[in-house]
């Protein structure tokens, strides 16, 4: 930093594509700080450092930053500074603040530049100056790519390109630059293994009216894939060549999404292009609205996933207290069952959090923290699978023994919020943030809340967190929920040092019988632990929703289960009755 005349340097969690999960090559923030969460920003000054992260990672970051000298900034805490506020307090203008322009999206960088300039600071995009701290940095990933057959994609890549080019023409663009890996994967029906948990290939693309360019390490591509891409009019170029390629658009109008293109590319285009047309990637919305084949496939994926999860819950309930089971063993067993059911990978690292660990929203068990499960308390299990048919994400909080009245009350409040939002009917045009209060209302009524969103979009054999949908009142998100979108419903409540509870289902948006209104079909098929429910807290409508859901679960799964698991599921889904509790 001194050699570059920088007074501060910003290291976001990310890669050149804005990915949530990172290949080892891009895990610079973890290398520098020890923090391994999927959302954080490290700021290093000449005299100190701070890590900014959100409510999902407060407890994890506190533990991982111990002894580093790095301050933890809890982003939503009252009085906590934002990134610029921290820099204004730590530095004096005209101090220079740097960041690797490839690792920051253009929208974020432009806002940062504006705010810093207003106070007399200098924002200086740089290269990766922190690379010098990492001599044994892992190389870029080089896993083989594969084509997704149309029976899974539901639409050919040629159709998708035509749809995109129509949107480009309407916007008046000669070219469209795409760097978001899930958008590119969906557009070309291309999948890979370069990103943990997400079936993506490291690449960029530029689409023109007649041709397109894919910037990729061609060693990942078979002859069959090369031929299929060539038939689409694609020219294959080296991965890093995109930064030079954009200089060819002098005098032309280029469409890009500043929130999903890195700042280095944005600056290069701003220098050469006649105009940048800033707009959401057309592909992002096209991808979020699942076609009919994708919807059918996702329903089938949830049957496979429900069989695996139900079998796991039976396995867990019949072993804890009888044979040794730990958090990591439980996660490994669940993955084994999913893999046998056709999953190609987990959709994210399984959260198997027992007792106090469940209060850490995105807890990840390590060899040192791996807790033994006992016949008491809760196991919070948040997990999912990547199937060629679709992507799953489900959370169940499982009672391993008797629960207290307080635990039962909190479990039931979370359950009611999940059921009520899943059953909501709402007009077209509503954004996810406008629905959030439905899920939180039971907890709010008792002065409780949680520091994460209630829902996120989910891809079809793509990313488990997919824009544009976010169900979170704290986030400014105006994207309207549309028929065909899939998102999660996952309220929770957490008590540090005690326990955490979260219940999550995936839902598919569909038209309601009332014209102009939408409703949701629940896709997730797995029992919810009735032994932790207090039925006397629930309204007749809540109980009817709960029983109808469990009836669907049994009807969908029973014929796929062996006799012992089927008998367990029959008991686990029997109707809930007020005044009568289900035994553990």
**pLDDT of the chain, 584 residues: tens digit per residue:** 999 999 999 999 999 999 999 999 999 999 999 999 888 999 999 999 999 998 888 889 999 999 999 999 998 788 899 999 999 999 999 999 999 999 999 999 999 999 999 999 999 999 888 888 999 999 999 999 999 999 999 999 999 999 999 999 999 999 999 999 999 999 999 999 999 999 999 999 999 999 999 999 999 999 999 999 999 999 999 999 999 999 999 999 999 999 999 999 999 999 999 999 999 999 999 999 999 999 999 999 999 999 999 999 999 999 999 999 999 999 999 999 999 999 999 999 999 999 999 999 989 999 999 999 999 999 999 999 999 999 999 999 999 999 999 999 999 999 999 999 999 999 999 999 999 999 999 999 999 999 999 999 999 999 999 999 999 999 877 899 999 999 999 999 999 999 999 999 999 999 999 999 999 999 999 999 999 999 999 999 999 999 999 999 999 999 999 999 999 999 999 999 988 878 76
Which domains are seen in the chain, by residue range? 8-133 (3.40.350.10), 146-288 (3.40.350.10), 292-572 (3.90.230.10)
Residues 6+ apart with CB under 8 A from 457: 288, 465, 466, 467, 468, 469, 470, 485, 486, 487
Residues 6+ apart with CB under 8 A from 166: none
pLDDT at 181: 98
- Return d(Cα 467, Cα 241) in angstroms, integer: 27
pLDDT at 77: 81
pLDDT at 50: 97
φ, ψ dihedrals at 254, nearest 5°:
-120, 130
Helix (H, G, I), strand (E, B) or coil at 179: coil
Adjacent-strand bridge partners of 208: 175
pLDDT at 362: 87
pLDDT at 477: 79
- Return d(Cα 437, Cα 384) in angstroms, integer: 26
Confirm if 407 and 352 have CB atoms less than 8 A apart.
no
pLDDT at 584: 67
Which bin fits 18, alpha (ψ -120 to 50), beta or left (φ > 0)? left
Structure tokens at 352: 């198997």
Structure tokens at 7: 């007074």
Whose tokens are 């693309």? That residue is: 205
pLDDT at 76: 76
- Return d(Cα 512, Cα 515) in angstroms, integer: 7
């Amino acid at each position: 930093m001194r050699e570059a005349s920088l007074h501060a340097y910003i290291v976001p969690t990310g890669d050149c594509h804005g990915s949530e999960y990172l290949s080892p090559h891009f895990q610079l923030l973890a290398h520098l700080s020890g923090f391994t969460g999927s959302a954080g920003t490290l700021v290093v000054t000449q005299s100190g450092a701070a890590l900014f992260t959100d409510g999902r990672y407060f407890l994890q970051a506190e533990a991982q930053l111990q002894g580093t000298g790095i301050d933890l900034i809890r982003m939503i805490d009252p009085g906590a500074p934002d990134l610029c506020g921290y820099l204004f307090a730590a530095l004096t203008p005209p101090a220079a603040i740097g960041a690797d322009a490839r690792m920051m999206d253009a929208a974020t960088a432009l806002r940062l530049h504006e705010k810093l300039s207003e106070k007399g600071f200098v924002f200086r995009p740089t290269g990766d100056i922190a690379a010098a701290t990492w001599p044994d940095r892992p190389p870029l990933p080089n896993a083989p790519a594969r084509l997704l057959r149309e029976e899974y994609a539901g639409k050919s890549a040629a159709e998708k390109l035509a749809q995109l080019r129509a949107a480009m023409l309407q916007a008046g663009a000669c070219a469209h630059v795409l760097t978001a890996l899930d958008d590119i994967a969906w557009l070309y029906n291309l999948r890979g293994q370069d990103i943990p948990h997400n079936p993506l290939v490291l690449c960029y693309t530029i689409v023109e009216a007649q041709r397109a360019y894919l910037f990729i390490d061609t060693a990942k591509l078979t002859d069959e894939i090369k031929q299929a891409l060539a038939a689409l009019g694609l020219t294959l170029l080296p991965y890093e060549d995109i930064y030079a390629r954009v200089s060819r658009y002098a005098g032309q109008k280029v469409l890009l999404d500043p929130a999903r293109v890195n700042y280095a590319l944005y600056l290069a285009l701003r220098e050469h292009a006649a105009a940048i047309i800033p707009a959401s990637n057309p592909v992002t919305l096209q991808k979020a609205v699942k076609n009919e084949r994708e919807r059918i496939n996702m329903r089938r994926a949830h049957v496979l996933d429900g069989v695996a999860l139900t079998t796991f819950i039976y396995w867990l309930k019949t072993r804890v207290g009888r044979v040794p089971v730990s958090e990591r063993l439980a996660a490994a067993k669940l993955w084994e069952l999913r893999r046998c059911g056709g999953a190609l990978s987990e959709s994210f690292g399984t959260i198997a959090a027992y007792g106090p660990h469940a209060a850490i929203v995105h807890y990840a068990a390590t060899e040192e923290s791996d807790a033994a499960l006992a016949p008491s308390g809760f196991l919070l299990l948040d997990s999912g699978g990547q199937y060629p048919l679709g992507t799953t994400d489900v959370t169940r909080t499982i009672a391993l023994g008797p629960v207290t009245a307080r635990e039962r009350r909190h479990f039931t409040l979370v359950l009611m919020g999940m059921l009520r939002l899943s059953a909501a009917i709402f007009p077209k045009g509503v954004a996810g943030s406008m629905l959030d209060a439905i899920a939180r209302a039971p907890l709010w009524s008792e002065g409780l809340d949680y520091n994460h969103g209630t829902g996120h979009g989910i891809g079809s054999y793509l990313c488990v967190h997919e824009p544009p949908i976010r169900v979170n009142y704290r986030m400014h998100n105006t994207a309207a929920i549309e028929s065909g979108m899939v998102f999660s419903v996952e309220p929770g409540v957490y008590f540090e040092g005690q326990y955490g509870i979260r219940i999550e289902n995936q839902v598919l948006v569909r038209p309601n019988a009332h014209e102009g209104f939408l409703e949701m079909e629940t896709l997730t098929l797995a029992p919810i632990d009735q032994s932790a429910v207090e039925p006397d807290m629930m309204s007749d409508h809540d109980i009817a929703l709960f029983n109808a859901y469990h009836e669907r679960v049994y009807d969908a799964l029973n014929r796929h289960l062996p006799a012992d698991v089927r008998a367990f599921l029959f008991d686990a889904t029997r109707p809930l009755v007020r005044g009568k509790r289900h035994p553990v």
